[in-house]
Amino acid sequence: MGKMKHIFYSKIRQALTKLSLRSRLLVLFISIFVISVSIVGAVSYVKAKNMTTETIENRLLREAELMGYIADNLKFLYVSDEAYFQQQLVANIRTQQEKLYNEGIQSDFFYITDGKATPFDTGDQELHAVPERMISQITEEQNGVLNGRVNGKDYTFTFQEMEEINGTYVIAVPVASYMDPVQEMAYSTIFVIAISIAISILLIVWFVSSLTKPLIVLRKAMRQVREGTYSKLLPLTRPYRNLFLLKKAMTR
């Protein structure tokens, strides 16, 4: 393993030594820029994703808690009329679902009793069944948030135990419904990064070329002097004049 590693690094060094100064500088500057921009973009995406997930989960927990208060009040008002209590509870759940939908969040509502998940009759249920493993976890934890995969889609399950319904109130939200804006932001970021990299590469190429061209010309002139060719004079334009002044300052 150590020998292979040594051979690998040796080949890299050999490849680098074959590159010109201009090529080395281009590889260095472009690599540093691309890596830096990519890291910044990746970190920004991860932070945005985590922040969005945390915000939505907290929001859904508050929604479940709010419905618990509503159910408690409704139960107090209609303690002797279970059917009307259920009717009013479903009406409030529909209002909650509509409010979430207006904010771009698709949601489904269930209640779990005796190990069975039953959807509320909201009229707009996309998810009609909850896997048994999720039911077991929800029943065991009673309150909180779980993430699971159902029918090939990722869901966030927010749940709270409610005595009024003799079970657990569950809000199921597809992850895609609240992560789509983050994904769109990621695509936009990738596009901007690609444009920035392209423009930066052009600027880096121009900068490195202007930096190394005088050195290349000077090297050719020195080779001609070494070979005894004095017919061609080095044009003393500004870049070369700077090199001349630098040499003069160093030999004082």
Q: CB–CB of 115/135 below 8 Å?
A: yes
Q: What is the pLDDT of residue 21?
A: 67
Domain boundaries, the chain: 44-182
Q: What is the pLDDT of residue 246?
A: 47
Q: What is the pLDDT of residue 158?
A: 92
Q: How far is CA 26 from CA 12, 39, 193, 198, in A?
A: 16, 20, 19, 13
End-to-end CA distance of the chain: 53
Question: What's the average pLDDT block by block, 10 residues per block, for the chain (252 residues)?
Answer: 62 64 77 86 88 90 91 87 88 90 88 87 76 86 87 89 89 88 83 85 80 68 64 52 50 54
Alpha-carbon gap, residue 82 to 85, rounded angstroms: 5
Alpha-carbon gap, residue 106 to 177, rounded angstroms: 6
Q: How far is CA 52 from CA 49, 59, 119, 147, 227, in A?
A: 5, 10, 27, 14, 69
pLDDT tens-digit series, residues 18-56? 666 677 777 788 888 888 888 888 888 889 888 988 988
Q: What is the pLDDT of residue 34?
A: 86
Name the nearest CA neighbour of 185 among 15, 72, 44, 10. 44
Q: What is the CA radius of gyration of the chain?
A: 34
Alpha-carbon gap, residue 202 to 209, rounded angstroms: 11
Alpha-carbon gap, residue 227 to 222, rounded angstroms: 9
Name the nearest CA neighbour of 147 among 175, 105, 119. 175
Q: CB–CB of 116/130 below 8 Å?
A: no
Q: What is the pLDDT of residue 169?
A: 92
Fold of 44-182: Beta-Lactamase (3.30.450)
Q: How far is CA 246 from CA 123, 214, 236, 241, 242, in A?
A: 82, 13, 13, 8, 6
The one-character DSSP state at 143 is S
Name the nearest CA neighbour of 60 among 147, 164, 121, 140. 147
